[in-house]
Structure 1
Amino acid sequence: MKTLIAITLAAVYGLITRLMFGFLDNSSQIMSVTFLFVVPLLIGFLTVLLIPTEKTTSGTAAFFKPWLTSLGLLFITLLLKVEGIICWVLLFPLFATVAGIGGLIAYHYKKSSADPAEGSDGPDWPKPNTLNVSLLFMLPVALGSLEGERAWTPEEITIQEQLTIDAPVAAVWQVLAKKHAVSQQSRPPLSSSLLGFPRHISTTLDTLAVGGKRISYYEKGLHFQEKIVRLEKERLLVFSVNTAPGQFPPTVMDEHVLIGGKHLDILDDTYQFQTLADGSTRVTLSSRFYINTPFNWYARIWANYLMSDILQGELYSVRARAMDAKRPVAFSPLHSASKRTETL
């Protein structure tokens, strides 16, 4: 029971800190070193600090019990709609690991402070007074206000995927030239969709020429406006991507991973076509985008994974439509008789 109370109190502390950062989002950013390193460190420290000494007898327990606090915070913020599922999925491994480190620090400090005469199960950590608690609450917000956007580092990334399609390049090219195309994916559900990224529904194109406009529609009202900026028939097709997050419904994606937001934006997509010796076509789809966080080394891992998944889904859709166009239309006597009647 005492362990549960300790975990609950530490999770409540995390929630209050998150809400304080939300209210002060112009100066204390959620996507900051302070919130994603200092806050979980303090949550883990507070968890083990409040748990009775005899309930945490090893470093392993001290490391993983703060993970329970992090899970509790996850469920509370999802329930209150403070955070979105995709944001937590991306950040939880880092957040929980840092919380575990905070737990280890508290465990070793308690162990070194125990009275040797009373053994390893000596007295619990002294209960913090009101001043200590106040400082604990205010420290992350003060540091976050000082940090602001100073630690953000814009970084441009290009990722590409390839797929061989058993169809001539002219047929594949015509798939992208269609005025209206419904997405078809002859593959299992995308991992990005399982994480909450809306599925691609359809695409419209006004004209296949430089300056032509394409709109890609996704679930939940998400859509991207694209413009052809370079075209070499059956060889190269480049789209610039316009992502204006203000036009998206607020329920589409979490604000901290919103495409076109402060931390992530897609710049352009490039299709390249190569005819292989057997007559099939190799299609290379690359996407150039940027990330802007204080921990790009971590954000890059997830960005590469998700963007690669999205590009693969688009390539599979192109292949499915090209193979459908390649199949001969089944002969229908009724259809044929109808045509003859119309001719007469």
Structure 2
Amino acid sequence: MGALTGIVLRLIFSGDPGGAFTAMKGAFVYLAPIAVGAVTVYVAEAKQQRKWSYYVWAPVAANALFVLGTMAILIEGLICVVIILPLFCVLGALGGLLMGVICRATRRRREAVYSFAVLPILLGFIPTPEANLQRIRTIERTIVVEAQPQQIWQQLHDARDIRPDEVGHAWMYRIGVPLPIAGVTQQTPTGFVRKISMGRSIHFEQVATEWRENQFVRWTYRFDKDSFPPRALDDHVTIGGHYFDLLDTTYKLHPTGPQLTELTITMSYRVSTQFNWYADSVASFLIGNFEEVILEFYRRRAVQVG
């Protein structure tokens, strides 16, 4: 019953990004898992009193079933499921404990569980102050490469036939982001453009806004309407979307010896949610991990060529 409550709430919160009843609304993200936990304990307590440990593990299990159920009926993808499940489990346990206290301390358990279930819906009508949601962060990683800047520079601009074993261990790819296939820079009438292709027919461009050969490059991102085919990425984490965006990426090469170069990558991104404290933590971890993996990828290829 708890899991079904969550699925019903998710079906209600199926609005467009930024509008009422979107699944990224704080009213859903914070309160739906609490409601799932509360309903789970309420139904169980109607049969017999449970132990305090039950108020924790049963709501956690119910929220896991709820989240997996949304994926089974194709309204959520693997990426969102993996990202949100830890938060939902913690909030679900909180809801279960609150309902357990109410069941033991009062006789108004029915009124309480109705309140838990209805409150997300009531708050779903309240508009979101979009201007206050944006959080912009910058993540930087550095590696020392046993190669000259020219060798690394060549790999940065001509990375073809990228194999899964070269980058697939990055956590963003482990949780469902399609793997990169190639990144090749071309000179166009308007400047240098790197064309990125990934699995599931994802493709976009990185436009060079600063360029110092063998030393520094800054890319901004350019997306077309068909850059992300339907279901290629979960709607809530699509790059350039309402809730997440990559702003720019820079690579800096600094020689530190005859055959040593310090390679630094810096990525700036935006998250725009009502739970930025959580979304930003996840994004920071995934992007930082990606930077470490991609730097190692360029290091290996530059060394092999050298």
Q: TM exceeds 0.5?
A: yes
1:182-232 Cα offsets, whole Å, 9 max, x none, are 325646722211100111111122129982111111111112211111111
Following the alignment from structure 2 to structure 1, what is the Cα–Cα distance between the partners of residues 102 and 278? Answer: 29
Listed as ranges, the matches of 1:195-274 within 5 Å are 195-207=175-187, 211-244=191-224, 247-274=227-254
Listed as ranges, the matches of 1:91-170 within 5 Å are 91-113=84-106, 133=114, 137-150=117-130, 153-170=133-150
Instruction: Give the drift of 1:146.
Output: 0.9
Q: Which residue of 1 aligns with 2:154?
A: 174
Following the alignment from structure 1 to structure 2, what is the Cα–Cα distance between the partners of residues 137 and 62? Answer: 17
Task: Give the aligned length.
Answer: 304
Instruction: Give the drift of 1:165.
Output: 1.1
Equivalent position amino acid for 2:13 in 1:
F
Which ranges of structure 2 fall in alignment gaps of 5 or more residues? none
Following the alignment from structure 1 to structure 2, what is the Cα–Cα distance between the partners of residues 304 and 177? Answer: 25
RMSD: 2.6
Structure 1 residues 263, 56: closer, same or farther in 2, change over 3 A?
farther
Q: Which residue of 2 aligns with 1:308?
A: 288
Q: Say which of 24, 31, 56 aligns to 1:31.
A: 24
Equivalent position amino acid for 2:192 in 1:
G
Instruction: Give the drift of 1:36.
Output: 1.0
Which ranges of structure 1 fall in alignment gaps of 5 or more residues? 1-8, 115-124, 327-344
Instruction: Give the drift of 1:284.
Output: 0.2
Contact 1:238–1:270 at 8 Å: present in 2 too? yes
Instruction: Give the drift of 1:235.
Output: 1.3
Structure 1 residues 224, 84: closer, same or farther in 2, change over 3 A?
same
Contact 1:152–1:293 at 8 Å: present in 2 too? no
Contact 2:38–2:116 at 8 Å: present in 1 too? no
Q: Which residue of 2 aligns with 1:64?
A: 57
Tell me which stretches of 4 or more aligned residues in structure 1 moved more than 6 Å. none
Instruction: Give the drift of 1:144.
Output: 1.1
Q: Secondary structure at the match of 2:69?
A: helix
Instruction: Give the drift of 1:53.
Output: 6.1
Greater Cα radius of gyration, structure 1 or 2: 1
1:294 and 2:274 correspond: yes
Query: What is the TM-score when the length of structure 2 is the normalising length?
Result: 0.90
Following the alignment from structure 1 to structure 2, what is the Cα–Cα distance between the partners of residues 300 and 196? Answer: 19
Instruction: Give the drift of 1:57.
Output: 3.4
Contact 1:226–1:240 at 8 Å: present in 2 too? yes
Moved more, 52-61 or 297-306: 52-61
